[in-house]
Copies of this chain bind each other. A is one copy, B any other.
């Protein structure tokens, strides 16, 4: 299998190595069959937004050049098969209530490729909370009730668990009413301060929220949480089912390949990997994209560069001031996600949180059983108390942070796998979570969605419905592809009348 330079793996035999095999690494890394100035569309970025746009445009007859800074497709979502088992380095879980991704799962006949991450059949089948040096053990049912109660308190701003405030989380009008603006202006920390909670309850809630927003709670909008809650149908059990339960047996990169391969099968897709876009210049008739080593030109560009990186590219004419301001503010999610494979079948049903003092990893659960019969655990960490995991800096300390979740630190770790998103130049963070006020104070999202001249912008970071999710990337890629098709049809109509 082809290898990406992204990601890290540690094993006893090889120690820490960078780079991981993945179905997402395309060989050869470049295919340019057309003159470099002759494309209908250049799509910048091969995450789900870019893949969807490239597929929709090539299958509808347009020539597309896909330009990607990395050596692989998938952006913030990709998987590596190690020991015959897919480790998800980024976006993972999906659900049939997420319309844009599930439409693709149906269309590619992958419905039965979904499986449940969780297996509550035995072993240490409990929710472990470490707080101030003490360990509390809850049953998984107690964990469910507790989380439901705590998140319920958090979101119950309207006496209807958020349903009155936000009946339609995908509405383009979202964020434009004053009551919502009030909550969006609050941080998660502001909101927690309004609640009457025991110290333990507060620790559990903060632990969960910290890895949901991936930042200090002071920096994260409470409005985003209300939006997530509405998307998850105002129910904690559904929140878990929709966001953290069903994943692909074959891994996300296998899924991403379906888009890429369909586009390629049209014969209209050219592509260049390891091509970092430096500038995008629109002369009013066509757009030139300059990478580190090359120049390409097309009638239209679809730019899928994430919010946190837009500011790093030179646009001419310049980016709309609100686009640039939003990118400079950035979203706040710098969550870490780290996997271990361990020879501890008794940990398959584990769930746990470490709170106060926060460790480098905050939340853990059993995510699968590998072909070797080992347990796969996934763990998330955030930056509460100024602690942030940089897993590759000291892999022994990373393993220690994993072992801290289990009694007597008994974990026989065979493999550690991760991608450090906070040090990734091409995403500068994980899934989108905006700062307080960013949804409502200025029309950042409206502006981010707008095309400028011949340059269109697509990203999960400003999708309407599941913003910040894979689903949102597919949604926005399809939206923009449709816009570009309409534009190109108009041009074609005009030139045929000349």
Contacts and interface: CB of A to CB of B under 8 A. Distances in A.
Contacts of A475: 103, 106
Contacts of A61: 60-61
Interface stretch (A10-18, A67-75, A166-174): A166-174
A21 interface: no
Contacts of A97: 96-97, 99, 233
B107 A171 contact: no
A276 to B, nearest CB: 31
Interface string A95-111: 01111111100111101
B100 A479 contact: no
Nearest to A232: B233
B465 A96 contact: yes
Interface string A63-104: 000000000000000000000000000000000111111110
Contacts of A173: 112
Contacts of A464: 106, 111
A238 interface: yes
Interface residues on A, range: 35 or more
A112 B489 CA distance: 25
A103 to B, nearest CB: 4
A114 interface: yes
A5 interface: no
Interface in A211-236: 233, 235
A205 to B, nearest CB: 24
A482 interface: yes
A164 B2 CA distance: 39
Interface string A356-374: 0000000000000000000
A238 B97 CA distance: 12
A335 interface: no
Interface string A464-485: 1100000000010011001000
Contact of A235 (B102, B114, B235, B479): B235
Nearest to A235: B235
A83 to B, nearest CB: 27
A174 to B, nearest CB: 10
Contacts of A171: 111-112, 114
A30 interface: no
A33 interface: no
12 contacts: A59-B60, A60-B61, A96-B168, A96-B170, A99-B99, A99-B101, A99-B106, A103-B475, A107-B479, A111-B465, A112-B171, A233-B233
Given A59-B59, A97-B233, A99-B101, 16 more contacts: A60-B61, A96-B99, A96-B168, A99-B102, A99-B106, A100-B106, A103-B103, A107-B478, A109-B479, A111-B172, A111-B465, A112-B171, A112-B172, A112-B173, A114-B171, A265-B489
